[in-house]
A and B are shown apart, each in its own frame.
Chain A
Amino acid sequence: MKMKLEGQVEEVVNKKVTRRGFLKGMGGLSMAALMAGSPMLKYFAMASPEEAQKELVSKWIASTCQGCTSWCPVQVKVINGRAVALRGNPYSKANHGEICPRPHLALQQVYDPDRIKVPMKRTNPKKGRNEDPRFVPITWEEAMDMIAEKMMELRASNETHKFVLFRGRYSYMRDIIYSALPKIFGSPNGISHSAICAEAEKFGAYYTEGYWDYRDYDLENTRYVLSWGADPLASNRQVPHAISIWKKVKKQAKIAVVDPRLSATAVKADEWLPVIPGEDGALATAIAHVILVEGLWNREFVGDFVDGKNAFVPGKTVDESSFKENYTYGLVKWWNIELKDRTPEWAEKICGVSAEQIRRVATDFAKAGPYAISWLSPGASMQVRGGYTAMITHALNGLVGSTDHEGGVVQKTKVPAYSIPDIKPYQDEMAKKNSKKPKIDQRGTLHFPSLKKGKSGGGVVTNNAADAIIKEDPYDVKVAIAYWANFTFSCSGTDRWERALQKIPFFVHITTHASEMSHFADIVLPAAHQLFEKWSFLKSKQNLYGYASLTQPVIEPMWDVRQDETEIPWLLAEKLAQKGFDNLYRYFKEQFKDPETGKAPTNSKEFAVTAVKMFTRSCWDPTDKNYGKYGEKLKGWADFVEKGVWNSHRFKPGKIREKYKTKTGKFEFYSLTLKEALEKHAKKHHTTVDAVLEATQYTARGEQAFVPHYEPAYRWGDPSEYPFIFFEHRSRLNREGRSANCLWYQAHKNADPGDENWDDVLKINPVDAQKLGLKNGDKIKVVSPTGSIVVKAKLWEGVRPGTVTKCYGQGHWAYGRIAAFDFHKRIPRGGNNNVILPPDYDRLSGSTARHGGVTRVKIEKISQA
């Protein structure tokens, strides 16, 4: 026995640890005692002598964390080829070397024993949640051949538009797989996840100041933070920057958090405004009302009454000519149409926040202006009627002059990067014709205006694609590829996605894990992990710095994986070319050249690096026209690889306000920009704006549609049957729903206030729990009009009576053996909120309405704790 064990030891230590050192480290412990019983213990590592420690080759290598969309520059500590630790990238001016808990968790993703190692082929032709796909391993060659074959069938039948590319999370290599691939092949269907993310937020900034993007926040200089469901200490955006500066912010500023839940940021705030979910608009309009009535608007930005006397008296209209505006448009119209009656007393009854607190917050916020931040988040906007709430909450920044101002809310510094070369020369007649066919998600139809950047059908309606596929409207989808997505888990109304995927005759999933979406796939392709195994780059901003941050293979890929956005389209292009359609391959070969050597890529790996170099050239190549124009001058590609991040100049507020990209060029309180967009959409459908509002579930009619205004919360479920308003929130440990198979995620889940380790709890106020006879840990069924889940009850004072809340992230029935309670029996650990959340939308932005208490629920006790 002993001899055998010693042999194993030698094999394991692999010359890194000498036998003498190993035994010394063992001390007085019996080797046999240690090794007995477990085959794993042969890998037991014991204290090693100093020489062995010296043999460890350790290096920090730059990459980027995509655990949330802060996209923080990080460094990975690699010892003898393995990733063993993470830290913030010290070269980054955005997160200045800090990281939140998420990057650490990524180690348990890349080294997850449940990761897919090789391409898999389904052998059970029947698809369904209760069908075992019976996956078997195949080679990349076989897999790509099968996919290309199916795609060529669409070319043969002139149905290339029936190909869909679903995109979940992405890097800025995205346009190769998401845009070039479908368009050159001949499909309009690049369907992004964006509308389940936060598009409604952008609606607010766009229809007030013409900016369709996330804002940045000057926390360094602010005197007031008014958060609308934003939880920057825990989740999107700029988490590490917010954490590192919060003590300073708390000292110099007041912090007020509007959230029905005592969030991670609310616990570190001065004021908690536990709003009734979905009624944020009442609170926000009342704050605007108070600011005007009390004469606390910013004169420099907004302007003033000609006679200097404040005529904003509750209930009274004001003559438009009596007020002269500076950087804004339509203040008096806004007052007359919407704000004059929105008193705190009116709002109190609707939103559940006291008039006294509304007045105090409004007054303090405005007095701090323009060094004040009204921080809009998905919580207050990804609601059925959230588009206008997004507008009001952002318009508060206009009132106090904090938009594009020091200490306030700002846009961004350009990050110079190129996208894909022109694809048009590579589109044949079929591709040109078919890629102009309507997209599968029904965007731009009467019920889905999806007015991204003012254009009817300008944005995606991600979640509606499932219904459209089921109904074959506008057509039947025949081949689909999804990457870095898990819509059967991450979209509300998960059952519809199960049915939709079941219906697609040939579905390919590119993923690291066998997820809920993979379960319906014909082919599963194992993806490289973005942080450790992939070439790409990200553009983002934090702390008023824009940046481009690289991801690179910091380790040899663990398994037979490929990079999703570059290598896989290349391999597919090769196969399509072999089968007679070489346009995509020629496009890659002819249009992608290494900026340093001028060489075309000869294989998928070279293609990945070449593309990153091309796209990021402005950051590091002195011969590029934008080199140094917007920020740092990195000294060549090697320098970029070494540092991993390019930082912009610090954003200087004050210029954008001179000419906003709105219809009027002003910050619009009366949005002519929105008016034009709505009128165009109405005209397209030969109807009126009022009819559009009716079709999109909004209550406003007439002029109210063009100003930020209050809309009553829209909820599913009759209160008599479903007594509780359900709302969900995010976890500081979620890597966008992909970390539930990490042991550390489960073991530290109670870092989310109110949550429990290794569990998934519905948080309910003790007052309500008592009425239902519920105690901590009781097993309960949570039932909405569209679904039910089984979780545990958690009695918690941090949630408003009458409402119940649960974190998103748990409830996987696939993904792995930690994430799922029983992977093979498809029993989830906890419950997925998206099972009970009905599939509804803020149709003006196309967004999925996952917030705002979109559904009511009832709670049934199953068993005692």
Chain B
Amino acid sequence: MGKVQYCMVIDLEACVGCSACDIACKVENNVPASFAWSNHIIETVGKFPDVKYRYIPTLCNHCSNAPCVAACPTTAMHKLDNGITMHDPSKCIGCAACRIACPYDVIYFNDKEPLVREEFLEPLIPECTSSQPGIQKKLGVPVGYYNPEREATLPGIRPRGVVEKCTFCDHRLAKGLPPACVEACPANARIFGDRNDPNSEVSKVLAKNHARVLKPEKGTEPNVLYIGEF
């Protein structure tokens, strides 16, 4: 066996554009509401009544030739042996060079306190409803649904002043589980695996289908590929 290269194939024919992936990702990775490690591009084309709607799920492409890694002055953004583009917030100086270098707009910068919602600082109705600090006091976590399992390989919540992005749920892969978006997809439109393993499902799917990547002209060699038409 050679080196592992993780890869995700998204079947646009199966995808119905429901956004369960986006939300499940936020749940799993404690992602602030304003960020979207898992996201989508939408467009409506044509004129009534000949109208087409397209929905393309997006996430970090974990490029083999990753411009974010090349741009990072501190090696905070780096490649793992399995092909994942990983970020180490302890080395991040918050310069955002990676964000600028990424052609896919999938890296987010924490310019304020993560997960803090000013709306929720005080109780809505005094003594009758809670507040975010009230929930924190009761449960000892930043938000009630906080997932501590994310802490296995990354700060559970990334601090102010650093960037964050999709990690292919490396902490789940370590337990033999697929990324959260893959598990959450009710259309089973996401196939995940090692593209260097000819027996993996992704390899088989890629062999049978014409797969495309986003912005091939950038030469980034993405490891998120698309098959089928929405």
Contact = CB atoms under 8 A, between A and B. Distances in A.
Contacts of B120: 113-114, 817
Contacts of B159: 29, 34, 41, 44
B134 A113 contact: yes
A82 B145 contact: yes
Interface string A773-816: 00000000000000000000000111111000000000000001
Contacts of B139: 82
Nearest to B115: A40
A25 B145 contact: no
Given A14-B140, A111-B144, A137 B127 contact: yes
A261 to B, nearest CB: 11
Interface string A13-55: 1101100000001111100011001111101111110101100
Interface stretch (A243-251, A415-423, A846-854): A243-251
Interface stretch (A98-106, A150-158, A443-451, A602-610): A98-106
Nearest to A98: B186
A765 B135 CA distance: 45
A84 B151 contact: no
A710 B168 CA distance: 54
A108 B90 contact: no
B205 interface: no
B33 A746 contact: yes
B125 A113 contact: no
Contacts of A732: 18-19
A37 B19 contact: no
B113 A38 contact: yes
Contacts of B115: 40
Given A244-B188, A798-B53, A118 B140 contact: no
Interface stretch (B1-9, B22-30, B58-66, B210-218): B22-30
A29 B187 contact: no
B13 interface: yes
Interface string B53-74: 1010000000000000000000
Nearest to A266: B53
Interface string A741-779: 001101110110110000000000101000000000000
A101 B40 CA distance: 14
A239 B20 CA distance: 12
Interface string A475-518: 00000000000000000000000000000000000000010000
A661 interface: no
B148 A16 contact: yes
B154 interface: yes
A264 interface: yes
A39 B113 CA distance: 10
B156 A47 contact: yes
Given A137-B127, A272-B49, A748-B23, A100 B18 contact: yes
B135 A111 contact: yes
Nearest to A107: B145
Contacts, number: 249
A121 to B, nearest CB: 9
Nearest to A80: B148
A816 B44 CA distance: 33
A114 B46 CA distance: 43
A233 interface: yes
A247 B153 CA distance: 36
A56 interface: yes
A233 B16 contact: yes
Given A47-B156, A732-B19, A84 B145 contact: yes
Contact of A116 (B46, B90, B129): B129
A48 B148 contact: yes
Contacts of B13: 247, 250
B194 to A, nearest CB: 24
Nearest to A42: B136
B149 A56 contact: yes
B8 to A, nearest CB: 18
A753 to B, nearest CB: 5
B125 A514 contact: yes
Given A38-B116, A262-B51, A744 B144 contact: no
A101 B161 contact: no
A551 B108 CA distance: 38
B16 A246 contact: yes
Nearest to A21: B151
Contacts of A798: 44, 48, 51, 53
Contacts of A797: 44-48, 51
Interface in B107-149: 113, 115-117, 119-120, 123-125, 127-136, 138-149
A817 B117 CA distance: 10
A24 to B, nearest CB: 10
B132 A113 contact: yes
A817 B140 contact: no
B157 interface: yes
A268 interface: yes
A751 B90 CA distance: 34
Given A45-B156, A56-B148, A99-B186, A816 B48 contact: no
Interface string A61-82: 0000000000000000001101
B14 interface: yes
B95 interface: no
A120 B151 contact: no
Contacts of A816: 124
B105 interface: no
A113 B148 contact: no
Given A40-B116, A748-B23, A816-B124, A765 B143 contact: no
Nearest to A17: B151
Contacts of A48: 148, 151-152
B128 A40 contact: no
A99 to B, nearest CB: 6
Nearest to A37: B113
Interface string A107-148: 110110111111010000000000000011100000000000
Given A41-B113, A100-B18, A765-B48, A818 B88 contact: no
28 contacts: A28-B90, A39-B133, A43-B142, A47-B151, A82-B144, A82-B146, A83-B145, A100-B20, A105-B23, A111-B145, A113-B117, A113-B123, A114-B120, A116-B129, A117-B130, A137-B127, A244-B187, A247-B187, A262-B51, A274-B48, A514-B125, A514-B129, A732-B19, A747-B33, A750-B42, A767-B48, A797-B48, A798-B44
Given A514-B128, A797-B51, 15 more contacts: A28-B90, A29-B90, A37-B113, A44-B142, A52-B151, A84-B27, A116-B128, A233-B18, A244-B187, A264-B17, A267-B53, A274-B48, A751-B19, A753-B44, A817-B119
Rank and list the top 3 A-B pairs by shortest CB-CB distance, nearest first. A27-B90, A111-B144, A751-B19
